[in-house]
Amino acid sequence: MKVGINGTGLTAREIIKLVASNDEFADLQIAQINGRSMTIETLRDRLLYSTAQGHSKLNVEIKKEKSEIVVNNQTIKYTQTTTPEKIEWLPEVNLLIESTGKFRDISKEDSNPRRHFKSPNNKLRGIVVSAPGKGGLEDLMVAASPNIEEDLGKIMSTEPFVFGGASCTTTATVPIVDTLDEHFGIESCYLTTIHAVTRSQELLDGAHGWSAFDTLLHTTGATKATNEVLKKKIPLDGIAYRTSDKAGSFIQIDAVLKKQATKEEILAAFKKSKYAKYISYPKVDCPPSSYIRGDTNMVMIIPEQITIVNGNRVIIRGLYDNEVGYAAHFLRLIKLVLSKMK
Ligand SMILES: NC(=O)c1ccc[n+]([C@@H]2O[C@H](COP(=O)([O-])OP(=O)(O)OC[C@H]3O[C@@H](n4cnc5c(N)ncnc54)[C@H](OP(=O)(O)O)[C@@H]3O)[C@@H](O)[C@H]2O)c1
C-alpha cells in the first residue's frame, strides 16, 4: 500500500523528509509526487535546504530519464500535471495526500478533492487532505478525535473516501484545550496564535492581502475546528497574528476554568493526558526558532509560562513547528489509515 502526494509545497516537503528520515514513519512508502511549476532539480534542492528548517542532510538523487527522485531509500516518481483529472497516478498509489491547498472543498466543483478519482486508470482508494476540510469535509486527528476508530471505520467503509487532517494551529490547540476541559472544565477560552509566515501571505501589499513584513490580524479557523475534531461545544474564540517569522509559531490559550487549579495540577494533567507523548516541554533560555525547528510534537508547552489569575483563569503558552509538527502528526493519521486499508 503506497502513498502519492499532490503538491510540492512546504507541508508536502516536510512530509517527504519525515518519511525518508524518521524511524517513526519508516514503514511508509511514497511512490509518486505530483507538482505544478517546480522542476525535479528544484524539488531536490528544496528537499535538501529550507529557509525555515535548514539543511536536511538527506541523500537526494535524481534519475532524470525516469523522472524519479530518490530520497534516502525512497524512489519516488515525479510528475507535473495541474489538472487532477489528468494526473497519471501509478497503480501502486492507493492513498493520496492532497497537499496543494487548492483541492479541499467538497461543496465546490473546482476545488473538490474528489476530482482526483476521475484521473485515468487510478487505483486510488482514498484521499486525506493535509489541511482543514471545507464544505462539510470532516477533519480527523490521531489521539484527538474521540471516536477516531469508529469515524474512520464509517468514512473508510465507502471507497473511495476523502477527509481532512485539520490545520497546524488546530493540532497545537487541541491537546491544551481538551486536557484543560477534561480535568478542570472550561467555562470560556480565548486562543491567540502568532503564526510563522506561509506562502499565502503577500511579499508586499497586493490583491490578496497586506505585506508579510507587517504583523497582521487574521481570523483563525482553529477555534471552530477544535470543537469539531473534539465533538465538543466549548465557548472558544481566537485570533491569529500573522508575522514574518520564518520558523515556528506561538500559541497562547487563555481559559476560565470551572474549577480552581494550580500550576502543578495543570502540568500533571498534561503529563498524564492521552496527548502526553505528543507534547514536549522546552526551556526558554535560547531564541525559540533555534529549538522549535524540527519538533515533531503537536505542541511544546512552556512550564515556566503557565500563569494562574484568581485561581481559575489559566494562561498556557507554547510553541509549535507549523511545518514539521503538523507534518508528523498528519503522518500518524496516514499510518492509522493505511493500517486499516489492508
Ligand atoms: N505551511 C504550513 O505551516 C501548513 C501547516 C499545516 C497545513 N498547511 C496546509 O497545507 C496546504 C499546503 O500549504 P503549504 O504551506 O505547503 O503551501 P505551499 O508551500 O504554497 O505549497 C502549495 C503547493 O501546491 C502546488 N500546487 C498548487 N496548485 C497545484 C495544482 N493544481 N497541481 C499540483 N500542484 C499544485 C504549488 O505549486 P507551485 O510550486 O507551482 O506553487 C505548491 O508546490 C494548505 O492547505 C495549508 O493550509 C500548511
> pLDDT for 202-243, tens place per residue?
999 999 999 999 999 999 999 999 999 999 999 999 999 999
Distance CA 123, CA 92 (A): 7
> In degrees to the nearest 10, what's the CA dihedral of 146, 3, 322, 277?
50
What's the CA-to-centroid distance between 40 and ligand 1, angstroms? Answer: 16
Per-residue pLDDT, 286: 74
DSSP 167: -
Spans in the chain with pLDDT lower than 70:
285
* Residue 342: per-residue pLDDT: 78
Residue nearest to atom 44 of ligand 1 (CA): 101
pLDDT on residue 247: 86
What gap in Å lies between CA 41 and CA 30, rounded to an integer? 18
CATH 3.40.50.720 segments of the chain: 2-137
Q: What is the pLDDT of residue 290?
A: 81
> Which pLDDT belongs to residue 288?
80
Task: Please measure the distance between the N-terminal and C-terminal CA atoms of the chain and give it in whole angstroms.
Answer: 8
- In this predicted structure, what is the pLDDT of residue 114? 98
Strand partners, 61: 70
Alpha helices in 231-281, H assignment, sequence order = 263-272
Distance 152 CA to ligand 1 centre (A): 25
Q: Could you identify the atom of ligand 1 that is nearest to the CA of residue 130?
A: 10
Mutate to test the pocket of ligand 1, among 100, 173, 242, 331 (most ligand atoms within 8 A of CB): 100
Residue nearest atom 24 of ligand 1, based on CA coordinates: 100
Q: Which pLDDT belongs to residue 1?
A: 84
pTM for the whole structure: 0.97
- In ligand 1, the atom with minimum distance to the C-alpha of 104 is 45
- Neighbour-count burial of 213, counting CB atoms closer than 10 A to its CB (0-12 exposed, 13-18 middle, 19+ buried): middle
If one looks up domain 168-322 in CATH, what number appears?
3.30.360.10
- Put residue 32 in one of left, alpha, beta given phi > 0 → left and psi -120 to 50 → alpha: beta
Q: Which fold has domain 2-137?
A: Rossmann fold (3.40.50)
Residue with cell 535524481: 62
Confidence at residue 161, expressed as pLDDT on a 0 to 100 scale: 98
Alpha-carbon distance 303 to 296, whole Å? 18
The answer to whether 295 and 324 have CB atoms below 8 angstroms apart is yes
Separation of CA 120 and ligand 1 centre (Å): 23
What pLDDT, on the 0 to 100 scale, is given for residue 339?
Answer: 96
The SS3 call for residue 280 is strand
The boundaries of every CATH 3.30.360.10 domain in the chain are: 168-322
Contact residues of ligand 1, CB 6 A cut-off? 6-12, 34-38, 82, 99-102, 130-131, 167-168, 198-199, 322-323, 326
pLDDT in tens, 105-157: 999 999 999 999 999 999 999 999 999 999 999 999 999 999 999 999 999 99
